């Protein structure tokens, strides 16, 4: 097996392990065992677990980021970019929720150093592009808060799927990415065009 293939195999195994058990719950030995390598071999590719973890998250997000950035940075009208973003992101999340679980683990761990590295090295360009879109969608709203709201609304239906199945009003079609996407598009596009009716609440 070539060095390149070793690296790809290591990252694939690391993504699965980190998403299932979190950063603290996975050791370099665990990853080596999953790849049928000795621990020393990992250090030919990665300096330490933190570098391996960062590379794993980058790898998990890389394919998605290419698709999503293509939408966000296109010349289409803002609302059309928003609807496409929602539709594609819902489809990506439904196909493989490993990345979503990986991010959930990081948020629960709340390690400032790792989160800062992820913000700068993994999500920086995506975040800037989404904020720019939000500024164009409605200049009266805080773009960073709007971006956070949009991402939360997209991610939560997939992250909460095991719980939602047991909640009042759940229907099996609520698991379909197309249904979730249509709902979010309608909710966001209509809501963004509505004037604020309550202002200056203390």
For residue 2, pLDDT over 50 is answered with no
Q: What is the pLDDT of residues 69-83, one digit of tens each?
A: 999 999 999 999 999
For residue 167, pLDDT over 60 is answered with yes
Instruction: Please name the residue ranges forming H helices in 73-142.
Output: 78-95, 98-109, 112-121, 124-137
Which CATH number applies to 50-192?
1.10.357.10
Q: Helix, strand, coil shares of the chain as percentages rounded to 5? A: 75, 0, 25
| pLDDT > 90 in the chain, percent | 53
pTM greater than 0.85: no
For residue 3, pLDDT over 60 is answered with no
Give the pLDDT score at 5.
56
């Amino acid at each position: 097996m070539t060095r390149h293939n070793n690296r790809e195999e290591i990252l694939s195994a690391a993504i699965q392990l980190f998403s299932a058990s979190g950063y603290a719950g996975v050791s370099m030995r665990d990853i080596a065992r999953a790849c049928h390598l000795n621990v020393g071999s990992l250090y030919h590719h990665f300096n330490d677990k933190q570098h391996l973890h960062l590379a794993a998250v980058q790898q998990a997000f890389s394919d998605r980021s290419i698709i999503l950035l293509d939408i966000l940075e296109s010349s289409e009208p803002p609302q059309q970019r928003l609807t496409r973003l929602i539709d594609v992101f819902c489809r990506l999340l439904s196909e493989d929720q490993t990345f979503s679980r990986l991010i959930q683990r990081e948020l629960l761990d709340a390690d400032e150093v790792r989160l800062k590295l992820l913000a700068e090295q993994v999500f920086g360009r995506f975040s800037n592009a989404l904020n720019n879109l939000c500024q164009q969608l409605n200049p009266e709203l805080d773009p960073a808060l709007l971006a956070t709201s949009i991402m939360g609304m997209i991610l939560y239906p997939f992250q909460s799927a095991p719980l939602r199945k047991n909640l009042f009003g759940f229907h099996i079609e609520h698991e379909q990415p197309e249904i979730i996407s249509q709902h979010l598009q309608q909710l966001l596009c209509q809501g963004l065009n509505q004037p604020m009716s309550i202002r200056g609440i203390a």
